[in-house]
């Protein structure tokens, strides 16, 4: 057994949502945090075994709760179409690059929302995956949508006379969650336009039951009042996006502690002039959509809806890794504090993904954390420029500034 080693953190944000702690001494033994105490220079442990990060802030590793690893985030229409129809050997380098980008931004767990041909699931099972970057990847494989409805870019239709359904029940592969598409995408032609639900309440309840038999949560792409209402009543684990869902749905989500992943940066990026895939009218509606979502976020804070941060990385202009900081900034704009937002991107994300040992810097947890040069006043911006990534109490050599 190795002797204890120590970290002097100038500021500690532990992921719980509690207050920022000043000058904390972390005691680490065999990769586990054994104590957190106020640093006292007069009773300082062996300096040879103490790392001085008094000029830095320390947070848990980040979690992006909604990504699409098989897509690059490019805004080039032709390139996006090529990625959608590419074979596995062509998509694999995209996945590897995206995973690397997440790691380099301190994101050590992601929840993938599906791809058309299940390539992320295939890659996640490959032996070479484990030799790349130490990231936990929760995969949906391919999502499910109704025939001739939105979702074909990320999954396949549930068909047949009983669409709920033998296909879903026969799903094979080590997936981590079931992904459903319950509405269409948000309109950029008409502000607030809602689409009809893809599945009935009975169908959704059957899907949730089938998933529960395999101990799988159900993540639901849903925008608009009725699509979200049915998904919440059916007992889904999380609502993805949730634009225009309204106060009543937010109250139900708070009452039943159903997670919301609002993916607001994916809408904001569409307001930028550099995104040539949309015109002035679409940019204006995207801006109004974003403002509406910010108001819903403020209401969610008042009602107590559990939030987890996801970027929808892989969407047009939403780059893997760096986009999570942008998502944080927007959620803070809705009135949340820095410690709340970091909680959403750490311990709440871990809870949503079922990662029991992640998300918190606490006694008894693995000594995994990010080191950021600077004070909390420079966060979340400085999370894009990490000093180090510690895993099991040791700086990971795969991270280079």
pLDDT tens, position by position, 44-98: 788 889 999 999 999 999 999 999 999 999 999 899 999 999 999 999 999 999 9
Q: What is the CATH number of domain 62-353?
A: 3.20.20.140
Q: Going by C-beta distance under 8 Å and a sequence separation of 6 or more, which residues neighbour residue 25?
A: 6, 7, 8, 9, 35, 36, 37, 38, 39, 40, 45
Question: Pairing relation of β-strands 21-29 and 5-12?
Answer: antiparallel
Beta strands in 309-373 (DSSP E): 369-373
Residue 203: strand pairing partners: none
- What's the pLDDT score for residue 171? 64
DSSP string, 251-265: HHHHHHT-EEE---H
Average pLDDT estimate for 89-109: 97
pLDDT tens readout for residues 137-160? 999 999 999 999 999 999 999 875
Residue 334 pLDDT greater than 80, yes or no: yes
Dihedral of alpha carbons 135, 104, 82, 309, sign:
positive
List, for residues 340-395, the tens digit of each pLDDT value: 999 999 999 999 999 999 999 999 999 999 999 999 999 999 999 999 999 999 99
| Helix (H/G/I), strand (E/B), else coil: 271 | helix
What's the rounded mean pLDDT across residues 223-241?
99
Most confident of 43-47, 158-162, 244-248: 244-248
User: Is the per-residue pLDDT at 163 higher than 50?
Assistant: no
Reduced to 3 states, what is the DSSP secondary structure of residue 330?
A: helix
Q: Looking at residues 194-204, what average pLDDT do you find?
A: 96
Strands (E) across 182-217 are located at none
Contact of 376 with 20, CB cutoff 8 Å: yes
Q: Please give the Cα distance from 44 to 335 (Å, whole number).
A: 39
Domain spans, the chain:
5-60+360-395, 62-353
The per-residue pLDDT for 43 is 79
Q: Which CATH architecture has domain 5-60+360-395?
A: Roll (2.30)
pTM of the complete model: 0.96
pLDDT in tens, 28-39: 999 999 999 999
pLDDT score of 203 more than 80? yes
Burial class (CB within 10 angstroms; exposed 0-12, middle 13-18, buried 19+) of 257: exposed
Predicted local confidence at residue 131, as pLDDT: 61
d(C-alpha 58, C-alpha 387), whole Å: 10
What would you report as the CA-atom Rg of the chain, rounded to the nearest whole angstrom? 21
Q: What is the pLDDT of residue 158?
A: 82
**167 pLDDT tier (thresholds 50, 70, 90):** low
List the structure tokens of 284. Answer: 């204006």
pLDDT tens across 300-321, in order? 999 999 999 999 999 999 999 9
What is the C-alpha to C-alpha distance for residues 371 and 386, in angstroms, rounded to an integer?
Answer: 6
d(CA 353, CA 65): 8
Which pLDDT band holds residue 275 (cuts at 50, 70, 90)? low
Q: How confident is the model at residue 329 (pLDDT cuts 50, 70, 90)?
A: very high
Percent share of the chain, pLDDT over 70? 94
Kindly report the backbone phi and psi dihedral angles of residue 19, in degrees, each rounded to the nearest multiple of 5, phi listed first: -65, 155
């Amino acid at each position: 057994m190795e002797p204890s080693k120590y970290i002097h953190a100038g500021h500690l944000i532990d992921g719980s949502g509690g207050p920022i702690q000043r000058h904390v001494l972390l005691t680490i033994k065999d990769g586990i945090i054994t104590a957190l105490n106020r640093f006292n220079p007069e009773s300082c442990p062996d300096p040879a075994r103490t790392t001085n990060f008094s000029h830095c802030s320390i947070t848990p590793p980040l979690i992006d709760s909604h990504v699409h690893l098989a897509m690059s985030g490019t805004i080039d229409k032709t390139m996006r179409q090529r990625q959608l129809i590419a074979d596995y050997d062509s998509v694999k380098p995209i996945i590897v690059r995206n995973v690397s980008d997440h790691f380099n931004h301190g994101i050590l767990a992601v929840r993938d929302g599906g791809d058309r041909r299940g390539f992320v699931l295939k890659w996640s099972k490959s032996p070479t995956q484990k030799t790349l970057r130490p990231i936990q990847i929760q995969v949906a494989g391919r999502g499910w949508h109704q025939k001739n409805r939105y979702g074909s870019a990320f999954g396949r239709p549930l068909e047949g006379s009983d669409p709920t359904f033998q296909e879903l029940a026969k799903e094979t592969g080590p997936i981590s969650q079931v992904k459903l598409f319950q509405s269409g995408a948000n309109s950029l032609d008409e502000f607030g336009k809602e689409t009809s639900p893809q599945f009935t309440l009975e169908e959704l309840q059957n899907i949730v039951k089938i998933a529960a038999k395999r101990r799988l949560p159900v993540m639901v792409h849903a925008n608009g009042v009725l699509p979200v209402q049915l998904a919440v009543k059916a007992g889904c684990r999380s609502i993805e996006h949730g634009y225009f869902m309204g106060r009543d749905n937010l109250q139900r989500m708070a009452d039943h502690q159903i997670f919301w992943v609002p993916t607001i940066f994916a809408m904001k990026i569409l307001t930028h002039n550099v995104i040539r895939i949309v015109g002035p009218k679409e940019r204006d509606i995207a801006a109004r959509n974003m403002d509406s979502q910010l108001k819903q976020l403020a209401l969610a804070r008042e009602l107590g809806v559990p939030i987890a941060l996801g970027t929808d990385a892989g969407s047009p202009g939403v780059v893997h890794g760096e986009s999570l900081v942008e998502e944080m900034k927007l959620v803070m704009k809705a009135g949340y504090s820095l410690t709340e937002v970091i909680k959403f991107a750490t311990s709440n994300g871990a809870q949503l993904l079922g990662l029991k040992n992640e998300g918190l810097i606490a006694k008894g947890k693995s000594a995994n954390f990010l080191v950021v040069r600077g004070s909390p006043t420079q966060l979340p911006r400085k999370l894009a420029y990490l000093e180090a990534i510690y895993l099991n109490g040791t700086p990971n050599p795969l991270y280079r500034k």
